[in-house]
Structure 1
């Protein structure tokens, strides 16, 4: 019990780093220790098993419990969330095209031919959309899962009682807790995955992982410091960086260490209050943003999917580029608010290229290895964006109504005054 207590008290990031180091050492010293390979397979298998159920119940319960009242500010927030997520996916496509990367997989695979035209893509999407819901869950057909989850959410909303909402929320919360348990065992899974990769391919794989991580980080930094400020600047016709830097500082840094958009919701709510936002709006938009404002997740899904396609010799064309951007944005909106949520939806984007779930889940394993840094930066981008766009929507509404904005929006980038001091 003492060992278990110490294990749980130790930072997950530190545990993953230790697991990574142990995996490398064991691969170099004991290259025939197949038991460690089994650890990696068990970890990936557990994620593969729980992910479809998690996505279904998270989406259905969110729609069932959602507030039906929408005003202009709330509609603007949703637009900013979805639009910025789509743009992030597009940026990731361009970045992956300019700097193509490959992933070292544990086993070779000959992928089926990529869709050659829009007709083939649409037909494939429609057939997956109306797949038998049970079969979609069993086969991890995420397009079908999302479709039936949305229908289930709206259908239950029309007839459900309070008890039904409670039950659906409890199931979603329970599945989320199960994912947290699995993620808590990530160090063992990482050790097994790293062992398998190093024992089969040597230490050279880390140079490829390193370049892939740089691509992910570079794309996220570009979105955080260029794309998001551009959206805010156009919307407010003001210098966006005071607001951008404040959100990154007071929300992004905390999210970087919690690695969970859901866990960072209280931090974001407090920041919205300090920014003088309307609580009736941000009390709904901030929790919603933890689900659908997923710039970082869209980047992760897109970059990892294209790296897989490059590895398997599948080439991107303009049709698949557009389809992937839209699909990655939609998949990102289905990410759970827990650590590693975006990784669980990589198979959805991979399905566009005919890459089976078995291969896609290997990529999820690679993502877990990169997640020590990647997931932290992804969460920081996502969660800080929740407040950024909530504030942008409200400040934009104030401008249209002729009301003044907080003074810090008109001050220099290096001002340290708070909103209350300025008010």
Structure 2
């Protein structure tokens, strides 16, 4: 048994996850009823990540800001610019693809009980209210905007605190980070349970009737991940971006694909940034922030499904309106929650641009939930992996300016 455990630990996390994935598929296809208890592993894994992630973000950000030395430069402006640029370009690509490959829908019910935002003002109002949320309530509900706000304020307030206080906060941060590594070690079991539950609950049959819609959605996401993002990275660091792109997709995208939550994947991204040797002062803030505003996948989903409704209803769209939709999708995506299916409820907001009634828009949301097995998984993988990609890009850009050698092949 010791030899088996030793060999298992030597495989590496990604290989372990792949094995868990395969076992989950086999159990779901062969003995779904007998293996039903396996599903609990997925719920426990995601629950543990969701429980520890808010506390981790609070202490990491608070500790990083409290110990920040005056005059020490950070790359937050560059990182935020890359986040917003990537989200807008993803929305624009989705709009262009939807005109090249128009998709119609057979509208169905399936989104009853969900309430969509009424407009951009409502989305922004919700974001502002989240900022001033009670800190305990923010942690309990996974409100990362509120957690970030309180962590930043507490960090600033503690800048002049004694070194012993700062050390205590740093120790708490390291302890929570250690707990996260313990949780991540159970990722293979968690992935096995998640994929088992996904297949036994939804199956793959429901996806067949929406094959063309899925092809456009996933095609846009793959194009953004493998073409648009690498171009952005290359423009910043003037080196082959693909080793870093593939590293982020493999280390962050795979786990995000199965957890379907940018918030739950924050601990994974934190560890990846540490492995890449990035500045903790930067990524301890940029990664939680990215889980909130860096939503390229969400922008793709909003744009494609909105234009699918437009094509279904035979509405004519001119170029200025298409560009406006790209901007609106990008802004709306920034307001998407960091949980599974968060972007779908913002589709009615984009549909309102074309005068599409709310009841019809919510039927489109229902279609989104039907195809969510793949759509939301790929969306989250793109969102989460890009958080690390752009954080690393901004830092590598500064290295290049300072004349430091950037060996992406070695780093990635």
TM-score (norm 1): 0.64
The equivalent of 1:340 in structure 2 is 341
Q: Distance in 2 between matches of 1:93 and 1:362?
A: 20
Q: How does 1:168-317 map to 2 (within 5 A)?
A: 168-170=138-140, 209-317=210-318
After superposition, what is the alpha-carbon deviation per residue over 1:258-311, rounded to whole angstroms, capped at 9, x for unaligned? 111111111111110111100111011001111111111100110000001111
The equivalent of 2:103 in structure 1 is 101
The equivalent of 2:370 in structure 1 is 369
CA contact (8 A) 2:124 2:335 kept: no
The equivalent of 2:24 in structure 1 is none
1:9 corresponds to which of 40, 51, 58: 40
Q: Which stretch of structure 1 is more off in the superposition, 222-231 or 256-265?
A: 256-265
Q: Distance in 2 between matches of 1:139 and 1:334?
A: 12
What is the Cα deviation at residue 322 of structure 1?
A: 1.1
Q: Distance in 2 between matches of 1:254 and 1:248?
A: 9
After superposition, what is the alpha-carbon deviation per residue over 1:71-127, rounded to whole angstroms, capped at 9, x for unaligned? 5501111010110000000000000000000111138xxxxxxxxxxxxxxxxxxxx
Q: Distance in 1 between matches of 2:77 and 2:411?
A: 28
CA contact (8 A) 1:77 1:393 kept: yes
Q: Distance in 2 between matches of 1:392 and 1:141?
A: 36
Matched residue SS, 1:306? helix
CA contact (8 A) 2:108 2:367 kept: no
Matched positions, count: 304
Matched residue SS, 1:87? helix
What is the Cα deviation at residue 139 of structure 1?
A: 7.7
1:82 corresponds to which of 60, 63, 84: 84
After superposition, what is the alpha-carbon deviation per residue over 1:331-389, rounded to whole angstroms, capped at 9, x for unaligned? 11111111111112111111111122222111111111111111111111111100000
Change (3 A) 1:106 1:242: closer
Change (3 A) 1:320 1:244: same
The equivalent of 2:194 in structure 1 is none
CA contact (8 A) 1:103 1:208 kept: no
CA contact (8 A) 2:245 2:389 kept: yes
CA contact (8 A) 1:236 1:396 kept: yes
What is the Cα deviation at residue 226 of structure 1?
A: 0.4
Q: Distance in 1 between matches of 2:280 and 2:75?
A: 12
Change (3 A) 1:256 1:168: closer
Q: Distance in 2 between matches of 1:271 and 1:251?
A: 7
The equivalent of 1:164 in structure 2 is 134
Q: Distance in 1 between matches of 2:331 and 2:368?
A: 19
CA contact (8 A) 1:102 1:208 kept: no
Unmatched tracts of structure 2, length 5 or more: 1-32, 44-53, 145-196
Q: Distance in 2 between matches of 1:369 and 1:282?
A: 35
Q: Distance in 1 between matches of 2:389 and 2:225?
A: 10
Q: Distance in 2 between matches of 1:261 and 1:171?
A: 15
What is the Cα deviation at residue 152 of structure 1?
A: 4.0
Superposed CA RMSD in Å reads 3.6
CA contact (8 A) 1:101 1:208 kept: no
Matched residue SS, 1:104? coil
Change (3 A) 1:138 1:221: closer
CA contact (8 A) 1:140 1:357 kept: no
Change (3 A) 1:290 1:310: same
CA contact (8 A) 1:90 1:325 kept: yes
CA contact (8 A) 2:115 2:345 kept: no
Q: Does 1:141 align with 2:103?
A: no
Q: Distance in 2 between matches of 1:291 and 1:11?
A: 23
CA contact (8 A) 2:74 2:281 kept: no
After superposition, what is the alpha-carbon deviation per residue over 1:40-90, rounded to whole angstroms, capped at 9, x for unaligned? xxxxxxxxxxxxxxxxxx9xxx9xx99899955011110101100000000
Matched residue SS, 2:336? coil
CA contact (8 A) 2:260 2:340 kept: yes
